[in-house]
Amino acid sequence: MLDDVLSYLESNLANSLSDLKEVLRLPSVAAKGENMEETAQWVADHLDELGLESKIHKTSGQPVVTGHIDVGAKRTLMFYDHYDVQPAEPFDLWESPPFEPTERDGRLYARGVADNKGDTVSRLWTIKAFLETGTDLPVNIKFVVEGEEEVGSPTMPEFVKDNKDFLKADGGIWEFGGSGIDGIQEAWLGLKGLLYVQLEVERLTMDAHSAYACILPSAPYQLVWALSSLKDSDSRIKIDGFYDDMKQLSESDLKAIAKVDLHETEVKDHYGIQHFLNELKDDALKEAYYNAPTCNIAGIESGWQGMGSKTVLPAKAMAKLDFRLVETMDPEDIKNKLRRHLDNNGFEDVKIAWYDGYPAAKTPVDHPFVDVVNKANKIVFGHDLVVHTTSPGSGPLYLFTDSVPMVSIGCGDFDSRAHSPNESIIIDNYLLTMKRVAVVMDEMSRW
Amino acid sequence: MLDDVLSYLESNLANSLSDLKEVLRLPSVAAKGENMEETAQWVADHLDELGLESKIHKTSGQPVVTGHIDVGAKRTLMFYDHYDVQPAEPFDLWESPPFEPTERDGRLYARGVADNKGDTVSRLWTIKAFLETGTDLPVNIKFVVEGEEEVGSPTMPEFVKDNKDFLKADGGIWEFGGSGIDGIQEAWLGLKGLLYVQLEVERLTMDAHSAYACILPSAPYQLVWALSSLKDSDSRIKIDGFYDDMKQLSESDLKAIAKVDLHETEVKDHYGIQHFLNELKDDALKEAYYNAPTCNIAGIESGWQGMGSKTVLPAKAMAKLDFRLVETMDPEDIKNKLRRHLDNNGFEDVKIAWYDGYPAAKTPVDHPFVDVVNKANKIVFGHDLVVHTTSPGSGPLYLFTDSVPMVSIGCGDFDSRAHSPNESIIIDNYLLTMKRVAVVMDEMSRW
């Protein structure tokens, strides 16, 4: 009985959290490639424990873990999660250690708790609740849990190519989601694409005394000029042809977007700003949010960064850029345009040391699976989902959308600080999000 | 007898180096404020041991150590040195640990050995050689050894103001110098001024997921735009009025400069470059070397600098800039012009977090003390000094030039890598530079 499942989840919340804390203690930072196999094994063991036959797929990068059970149901539900997390730096801004999960004021703090180990474990425990209460699974289940989502999912294309048959389902729940700043649950139907590049300039074979800046070329200045050439102070990207393949928002997108409140005042207060970028607001803000490609400096580094002064002319400089792409921009094409821009503007020596990326994708807003998820949400949370046609964030959704309509919901909230210090979730939301998945499974069986 | 002094220096080279290594093991990095008092005490103890009455002068920053002895001679010689060193980062580029002095192939490697502990200790040992051989000191001696030269000598003005009477001498030997790329000894009669600023931008109260770059302002981009606005890609500085107070080179400067060979090919090979900045060469290169003010990025930092990718929109960004100033530019005035430039170009939020600096200064190329030093050099090294009217580097020379004609010579060489990894000196030069100071003292007594 579904009610037994929901009761079980409630009375076993502490056990579920204990499991979650165990995996949060593994610092599986994909950018550093640490603790990855151990964490993949943790996921595989927990899938097996639930009778979901696990498989650890070797790839050219980190392994992908899958699990599945076919109970002969009409519908199949897929979960896409990831066992890797963002780096936790800067550590000194954390109020409790990032890899020592800590409860405070109804929240659970740890790197990866919102993005996305909390969701991964909550979904495993929802299945467990069916098993432990002797309730038949109403749908067949598939799990895909990758280990490189936070570094651009470089090996997912090869995994998907090799596992085409596995990647079919009637509906899928994507890795993240939660409540907005007003506490209302949100669903995300799409993700922007990503191009991540590391730029490097080397203009001298060794650092020089900065006295020689009068006659020697500067790597950090060359990088600064190159970055400045990429984007105007009004944030318009100046790479030739950058916006050429950008699809405009459709009528149904615009209709869905019109229903959304972006809570401008609250978001500005949260980040301590007077104005959004370029003083955007109302419809223009929404258009940027849902359909603006970006060129962001995620990191920049050269020379002396310690205390006080060091008078050095650094030999090298480095910047990490992430471009968010919208439909139907191609990351490889944008990378080529970036290279051409650099070459044509005197920045031949600014190297693209490495890059990675994937395109944007969306599940249509009028797909019936979206209604199934919304109905479940209303039963558990008592209100309709706010439906975002796309998230401003990215993920390899494009690999799935041909064969699985995906909806992203989860246990996060507006203050979850994914990718930032003091990442956390509200423990009450964690419980409700488990219940919601149970009801999605139940509703799906009657779809 | 002078000959006894020179023989003593030769036969006691190992002892002198042993003393030098002792002080090189103290990582007196002014930028970090570490080991400063201990190193100041080391200098004071060694002055006292030579009968040069030492005094450790408290300042609002690091102490200044002085020593002096009045033997009733006609002339007084002053030494200006510093016991602080540059930071040694990046450590991984050092072939032997920076604070563990190591001899290799006739060179001695350590942070500060060329700049300027090697010179400081060599000068102490020259005095010692007179004492130990029972040779009368031919001149009165004064030492000024400060502890913040590498961070812009912020407290030297207060020290000089409080010790005006002490700061008189017939000639002075400044902290650094050595041989050029052709092995010929060089002297530096002037130093450029310096304005060092730390720029900081904060545009959000916390780092954000870079997905929000579509609607939130970027601190690193604001900094990049600000830096780009300061200097064109042809290195012309765009701060309004920046060049207004710049004194052009005099006739006697130009005459002295005409004699100098900057060894363009060898310098380019050393730094692995095809061309100097803006393809400068010949007279234009010399003019830049001796009289171009600069705007140099000594450090820049924001966001994720580790391996791989992190998709973050950093809340803050920081850059360290050093401006080399020529006569008669005023660092305070340039700082005000920088602030005005930032305010007038949309960079009000780019803060000058702190700054420091001092003006340029020169000893006239036709001063008789310059001839005294050249004569001594010819006796010891067998050739005339290459006389540079100014160094492209900086130091608080302006505090001394009113009362002491200063000439900068020392034990370094072209490959000494001051401020860079693998700083070193040639041990043979160290010995000869001690002998040269002994002969300067001798010649000075007959001036």
pLDDT tens profile A301-321? 999 998 888 899 999 999 999
Mean pLDDT (chain A, rounded): 96
AA identity, residue B322? D
Residue A407: beta bridge partners?
A173
Q: Per the structure block, which two tokens stand in for B53?
A: 């009455």
Mean pLDDT (chain B, rounded): 96
Neighboring chain A residues of B206 at a CB cutoff of 8 Å = 271, 417, 420-421
Residue B406: beta bridge partners?
B172
Q: Per the structure block, which two tokens stand in for A75?
A: 């519908």
Contact (Cβ atoms closer than 8 angstroms) between residue A85 and residue A111: yes
Residue A390: the pLDDT is: 96
Contact (Cβ atoms closer than 8 angstroms) between residue A364 and residue A375: no
Do the domains B2-189+363-445 and B193-357 sit in the same CATH topology, yes or no?
A: no
Residue A295: the pLDDT is: 98
Alpha carbons A326 and A242: distance in angstroms, whole number: 11
- Which residues neighbour B328 within 8 Å (Cβ) at sequence distance 6 or greater? B245, B246, B247, B359, B360
Do A214 and B392 lie within an 8 Å CB cutoff? yes
- Which residues neighbour B150 within 8 Å (Cβ) at sequence distance 6 or greater? A309, A310, A311, B29, B30, B31, B82, B84, B85, B86, B115
The string of pLDDT tens digits covering residues A313-347 is 999 999 999 999 999 999 999 999 999 999 999 99
The pairing of strands A296-303 and A316-325 is antiparallel
The ipTM value here is: 0.88
Query: Topology of B193-357 in CATH?
Result: Alpha-Beta Plaits (3.30.70)
Give which of B29, B224, B268 to mutate to test A binding, by max A Cβ within 10 Å. B224
Residue A146: beta bridge partners?
A82
Contact (Cβ atoms closer than 8 angstroms) between residue B192 and residue B391: yes
Instruction: For residue A291, give the chain B residue with the closest CA.
Output: B214
The string of pLDDT tens digits covering residues B96-108 is 999 999 999 999 9
Q: Which of A216, A288, A302 has the CB atom closest to B276's CB atom?
A: A216
Do A310 and B419 lie within an 8 Å CB cutoff? yes
Alpha carbons A289 and A392: distance in angstroms, whole number: 6
Q: Which of A66-80, A97-111, B387-401 has the lowest mean pLDDT?
A: B387-401
The string of pLDDT tens digits covering residues A407-446 is 999 999 999 998 889 999 999 999 999 999 999 999 999 9
Neighboring chain A residues of B227 at a CB cutoff of 8 Å = 221, 224, 228
Q: Does domain A2-189+363-445 have CATH number 3.40.630.10?
A: yes
Considering the four listed CATH numbers 3.30.70.360, 3.90.1150.10, 3.40.50.970, 3.30.230.10, the one that applies to the domain covering A193-246+293-358 is 3.30.70.360
- Which residues neighbour B386 within 8 Å (Cβ) at sequence distance 6 or greater? B180, B184, B185, B186, B187, B259, B260, B261
Question: What pTM, to 2 d.p., does this model score?
Answer: 0.87
Alpha carbons A399 and B42: distance in angstroms, whole number: 67
Please determine, for residue B151, whether its predicted confidence score (pLDDT) is greater than 90: no
With cut-offs at 50, 70 and 90, classify the pLDDT of residue A40. Answer: very high
Q: How far is B160 from chain A (nearest CA, A)?
A: 22
Do A314 and B301 lie within an 8 Å CB cutoff? no
Instruction: For residue A289, give the chain B residue with the closest CA.
Output: B214
Residue A412: the pLDDT is: 98
Do A272 and B215 lie within an 8 Å CB cutoff? no
Do B297 and A314 lie within an 8 Å CB cutoff? yes
Do A216 and B313 lie within an 8 Å CB cutoff? no
Of residues A303, A304, A308, A305, the one with CA closest to residue B355: A308
Residue B388: the pLDDT is: 97
Instruction: For residue B269, give the chain A residue with the closest CA.
Output: A205
Please determine, for residue B419, whether its predicted confidence score (pLDDT) is greater than 90: no
Q: How far is A252 from chain B (nearest CA, A)?
A: 22
Domain assignments of chain A as residue spans, ordered by start: 2-189+363-445, 193-246+293-358
Alpha carbons A178 and A426: distance in angstroms, whole number: 10
Residue A72: the pLDDT is: 97
Tokens 């596992």 locate to: A163
Cα B248 from chain centroid (whole Å) = 23
3-state secondary structure of A263: coil
Alpha carbons B162 and B156: distance in angstroms, whole number: 10
The string of pLDDT tens digits covering residues B218-273 is 999 999 999 999 999 999 999 999 999 999 999 999 999 999 999 999 999 999 99
Do B215 and A318 lie within an 8 Å CB cutoff? no
Cα A147 from chain centroid (whole Å) = 12
Number of A/B CB contacts below 8 angstroms equals 297
Do B304 and A294 lie within an 8 Å CB cutoff? no
Residue A308: the pLDDT is: 83
Residue A215: the pLDDT is: 98
Residue B52: the pLDDT is: 97
Neighboring chain A residues of B30 at a CB cutoff of 8 Å = 308
Angle at CA of residue B321, ends B317 and B324, nearest 5° = 175
Neighboring chain B residues of A204 at a CB cutoff of 8 Å = 271-273
Do A308 and B151 lie within an 8 Å CB cutoff? yes
Tokens 């001796």 locate to: B290
What one-character-per-residue DSSP string does B52-99 give? -EEEEE--SSS-EEEEEE--S-S-EEEEEEES-B-----GGG-SS-TT
Q: How far is A8 from chain B (nearest CA, A)?
A: 35
Of residues A109, A426, A235, the one with CA closest to residue B213: A235
Please determine, for residue B383, whether its predicted confidence score (pLDDT) is greater than 90: yes
Q: Which of B204, B297, B314 has the CB atom closest to A273's CB atom?
A: B204
Neighboring chain B residues of A356 at a CB cutoff of 8 Å = 309
Q: State the burial class of residue A424 (Cβ atoms within 10 Å of its Cβ: 0-12, 13-18, 19+).
A: buried
Please determine, for residue B275, whether its predicted confidence score (pLDDT) is greater than 90: yes
Neighboring chain A residues of B205 at a CB cutoff of 8 Å = 271-272
Q: How far is A336 from chain B (nearest CA, A)?
A: 19
A373-379 contacts at long range (C-beta below 8 A, 24 or more positions apart) = A373/A171, A373/A173, A373/A187, A373/A407, A373/A409, A373/A440, A374/A187, A375/A443, A376/A436, A376/A437, A376/A439, A376/A440, A376/A442, A376/A443, A377/A185, A377/A187, A377/A409, A377/A436, A379/A439, A379/A443
The string of pLDDT tens digits covering residues B292-301 is 999 999 999 9
Do A215 and B300 lie within an 8 Å CB cutoff? no
The string of pLDDT tens digits covering residues A106-155 is 999 999 999 999 999 999 999 999 999 999 999 999 999 999 998 888 89
Alpha carbons B138 and B142: distance in angstroms, whole number: 13
Of residues A304, A313, A229, the one with CA closest to residue B277: A313
Task: Give the helix/strand (H/E) hosting A227.
Answer: helix A219-230
Residue B126: beta bridge partners?
none
Neighboring chain B residues of A210 at a CB cutoff of 8 Å = 294, 296, 298, 322, 324, 419
